[in-house]
Amino acid sequence: MATTRTQTVLLTWEMGGGQGHLVRLGAIGRRLAEQGHRLVVACRDVPAARARFEDWPCHPIPSLEPSPPPYPHAASLAEVLHNIGFDCRDKLNKLCAGWDRLAEEVRPDAVVMDFSPTALLAFQGHPARRVLIDNGYSHPTLTCPMPSLRPWQARYEDMQQRIEDRLLREVNACLADRGQAPLGFLAELFGRADDIHLMTVAELDHSGPKDHVHYRGYLTLGGNPPEWPARRGRARVLVVLKPFAGIDRLLAGLLARNLDILAVIPGLDDASQSALRRLPGLALIDGWLDLRQAARQADGVLCAGGDSVGIVLLQGTPACVLAYFPEQRLTGLRAEATGAALLVPQHASQEQILDRVEQVVDDDGLRRQAGRFAAAYRNLDPEQELQAIAQSITGAMNPAPVSRR
């Protein structure tokens, strides 16, 4: 039954870099605010949250004294959890006590958690509705042991099992202290929520597909219409990357292969911007670009991974993925498996990158597969999905998870 009473919703972001977590939570929070609900934020980057959400109270998350992580290059979510204190009952009790104090102050009716495992643990047994938001990377399959976050590296199952067994003992001790039922295996914690929404599609879920979640696709972020350079080359390529050493040469190399370039490179230094703006056949975008529209107008896209890959493929445009981080590489592997994208090999030379981009532009098979992929999701409406998330948070609607394929 739908509810119309005003609710207090706590939005949490505990782990992960970049501002994508705040973008996701912000879109959901604004929809809830439009419906008259009260929003409160608890996150790892309070200044960024306050700058983005001026009307919402923002709190720091409970935390421990910083120390070097035991697993700086975590190969599994269990190692990630170990790094933040899941290896010690006392640490977990301290973190949970911090969440308890925040809950007492905020008194939320619902808690929306983006990569917030200690919040998820602390709110077990709490009367607030628990809703998870993720993209699949930090929401594992409910298996033991949990999937690898680096499947291209050797996997030592016995070591991973020992790590999970140790963490399970400590987590269950914490749950017992809090009067809550124990977990049968570590990943079970991620299933103990009232609703789970993954902002991706099943084929691009890092460890999916999963049958206990809602796949919601990608948020509508708007942006300015693309302004392509005057036609000179044989094809158009959209480039969405972060700055790195050699990116100027890479863009010049694409131009040399008779391609017109529309480039979005936030954070590019002034000298590089000045040099690139002089190159005929290249348009450098300063502001927020309408990625969907630009992708539909492109013959191929070069991007780093993340949500960009899924958004591009859903426009029927093939993609070349140049991953910087393991999460992006996982996305690239999943995208490549659809037959609509290519992943640049690790440590590839500039010539190899250029060859991959050309293949994406020229390969009719990749384009046909991208078209099939987009057609399969033609009814996926970002606005409807956002509304469904908002309704599930307030308890107005709680449908069973459904696969989109």
Report pLDDT digits (tens) over 253-292.
Answer: 999 999 999 999 999 999 899 989 999 999 999 888 999 9
> Is 129 within 8 Å of 395 (Cβ atoms)?
yes
Give the span between the Cα atoms of 223 and 50, in whole angstroms: 22
Whether 48 and 184 map to the same domain: the answer is: yes
> Is 52 within 8 Å of 71 (Cβ atoms)?
no
What is the chain's length?
A: 405
Q: Residue 265: what pLDDT? A: 94
Whether 38 and 175 map to the same domain: the answer is: yes
Task: List the CATH number of the domain containing 131.
Answer: 3.40.50.2000
Give the span between the Cα atoms of 138 and 76, in whole angstroms: 9
Whether 45 and 129 map to the same domain: the answer is: yes
> Is 83 within 8 Å of 70 (Cβ atoms)?
yes
**pLDDT tens digit sequence for 357-401:** 999 999 999 999 999 999 999 999 999 999 999 999 998 754 444
Tokens of 192: 């103990």
Residue 205 resides in a domain: yes
Whether 22 and 128 map to the same domain: the answer is: yes
Identify whether 345 is preceded by a cis peptide bond (ω within 30 of 0). Answer: no
Collapsing DSSP to helix, strand or coil, 220 comes out as coil
Whether 182 and 302 map to the same domain: the answer is: no
Residue 402 resides in a domain: no
Give the span between the Cα atoms of 334 and 344, in whole angstroms: 13
Using 50, 70 and 90 to split pLDDT, how confident is the model at 402?
Answer: very low
Whether 321 and 248 map to the same domain: the answer is: yes
**pLDDT tens digit sequence for 76-99:** 999 999 999 999 999 999 999 999
Whether 262 and 121 map to the same domain: the answer is: no
Q: Classify residue 54 by burial, with Cβ atoms within 10 Å: 0-12, 13-18, 19+.
A: exposed
Q: Residue 4: what pLDDT? A: 63
How many angstroms separate the Cα of 199 from the Cα of each of 39, 72, 138, 263, 386? 20, 26, 12, 25, 10
- DSSP strands (E only) in 213-311: 214-215, 235-240, 259-264, 282-285, 300-303
Query: Could you give phi then psi for residue 148, rounded to 5 degrees?
Result: -70, 140
Query: Could you give phi then psi for residue 250, rounded to 5 degrees?
Result: -65, -45
Instruction: Encode 298-312: b = buried (16+ Cβ within 10 Å), e = exposed.
Output: bbbbbbbbbbbbbbb
Whether 21 and 166 map to the same domain: the answer is: yes
CA 214 from chain center: how many Å? 15
Residue 222 resides in a domain: no
Whether 175 and 76 map to the same domain: the answer is: yes
How many angstroms separate the Cα of 337 from the Cα of each of 84, 155, 402? 33, 21, 22
Give the span between the Cα atoms of 394 and 405, in whole angstroms: 27
- Whether residue 250 is predicted with pLDDT greater than 80 in this model: the reply is yes
Q: Residue 400: what pLDDT? A: 42
Using 50, 70 and 90 to split pLDDT, how confident is the model at 404?
Answer: very low
What's the predicted TM-score (pTM) here? Answer: 0.93
Sequence letter at residue 191 = G
Collapsing DSSP to helix, strand or coil, 77 comes out as helix
Give the span between the Cα atoms of 301 and 320, in whole angstroms: 6
Domain count, the chain: 2
Residue 228 resides in a domain: no
Crossing angle of helices 157-177 and 89-106, rounded to 10°? 50
Which residues are within 8 A (CB) of 27 and not within 5 positions of it... i.e. 6 or more apart? 219, 221, 386
Q: Which domain holds residue 138?
A: 8-217+381-394
Residue 223 resides in a domain: no
Using 50, 70 and 90 to split pLDDT, how confident is the model at 320?
Answer: very high
Whether 65 and 168 map to the same domain: the answer is: yes
Collapsing DSSP to helix, strand or coil, 141 comes out as coil
Nearest to 377 by CA among 335, 328, 316, 334: 316
Which residues are within 8 A (CB) of 401 and not within 5 positions of it... i.e. 6 or more apart? 196, 211, 212, 213, 214
Tokens of 69: 């992580």
Residue 93 resides in a domain: yes
* Mean pLDDT for the chain overall: 94
Residue that is written with structure tokens 């994406």 in the block:
360
Q: Residue 243: what pLDDT? A: 93
For 370, how many CA atoms within 13 A lie in the half-sphere containing its CB? 30
- Whether residue 326 is predicted with pLDDT greater than 80 in this model: the reply is yes
Nearest to 388 by CA among 198, 207, 209: 198
Nearest to 264 by CA among 231, 293, 234: 293
CA 204 from chain center: how many Å? 11
Residue 227 resides in a domain: no
Residue 190 resides in a domain: yes
Tokens of 347: 């440590």
Whether 24 and 159 map to the same domain: the answer is: yes
Q: Residue 397: what pLDDT? A: 52
Whether 347 and 326 map to the same domain: the answer is: yes
**pLDDT tens digit sequence for 125-158:** 999 999 999 999 999 999 999 999 999 998 889 9
